[in-house]
Amino acid sequence: MNAHHTHQEIVVVTGAGAGLGRATAREFARRGAHLGLIGRDPNRLEAVRSEVEALGARAVTISADVADARQIEGATERIEAELGPIDIWINAAMTTVFSPLHAMSAEEFKRVTEVTYLGNVNGTLAALKRMRPRNRGTIVQVGSALAYRPIPLQTAYCGAKHAIKGYTEGLRCELLNEGSRVHVTLVEMPGLNTPQFDWCRSHLPRRARPVAPVYQPEVGARAIYWAAHHRRRQLYVGISSLLTIWGNKLAPGLMDRYLAHNAVGGQQTDETEDANRADNLWQPVAGERGARGRFNREAHRQSVQLWASTHRREVGVAAGAVVLLGALLNGRRRSRHRRRALSGRR
């Protein structure tokens, strides 16, 4: 944790205007951080600024496209000039196209890659430029279980998340080789109830939805906050992420067939998609969306798996106590049997 620094914790969040990025901004504001908020829609950024200022934070909002490295470098300069040295950088910006690969254009695939993957790289480069000379700071990469186990209808997004995992693990080795105290962590997300399913481009016949089970974005935001303050190399969020990642390690061929059978229908609701609706691939969709999407009724507000993962010591103590209790009870049972056997011989 940055407790040894006397200055206020300064945190940058990309994709801060809605969804997980917005929930993350609120989580850090609630805990006393000041924020640099980067997103494309200036009106939404102002709404987020009002929310975090109401929680006691100072905020700098900058309208920028993460796919443009110069815009991100300029935004970073301004944030440090107005707030001070950045302690934590969170790469949360993303976009996707819900579509079979054959129905996508090369331009669409490229744009998803530029925003979701290269936007992450651009943010990391801007953060490293400042953190490496200071020999401190944390970069949080918002990853996905889909980086380990791709699914149909999200090939561009899955490819980008794979790429984030790949270059991040290489970067981590470089930092270790330098003896750098800059920490990079991956937080692997499950399906979250965010507005992306209403404004990301779709070529599907029915409205897109997250793969169940669905979690509220605040669950992801709490995971990001925890990861930013503990030197864990990666953190899985939600039991579905854990099962997906391990299922793919143990039986990838079986996962192929399972997802082929279940994940196409499982990513669509029964409602017909509006082929003419606005999407955010090239420019932001107007209007206030907040952090949550339209799946409140089914979205989980807590994750037992995440609690267990972030409380390993407590889980270990509890497990040890259960084993010890079991051993004691078993010992007592055996001694009773022995006494009965001895009395029977008499």
Report strand pairing: 206-208 vs 268-272. antiparallel
Annotated catalytic residue: which of 148, 157, 215, 236? 157
Q: How far is CA 177 from CA 65, 131, 172, 173, in A?
A: 32, 16, 9, 6
Which of 160, 219, 155, 216 is CA-nearest to residue 187? 219
Give yes or no: 258 in active site. no
**Sign of the C-alpha dihedral computed for residues 200, 201, 204 and 206 taken in this order:** positive
State how far the Cα of 241 lies from the Cα of 247, in Å rounded to an integer.
10
Cβ atoms of 66 and 123 closer than 8 Å: yes
Helix (H) or strand (E) run with residue 123 in it: helix 119-134
State how far the Cα of 32 lies from the Cα of 152, in Å rounded to an integer.
40
For the chain, the first-to-last Cα distance in angstroms comes to 67
Long-range contacts of 245-249 (CB under 8 A, 24+ apart): 245/145, 245/148, 245/149, 245/188, 247/149, 248/148, 248/149, 249/148
Which positions are annotated as active-site residues? Answer: 157
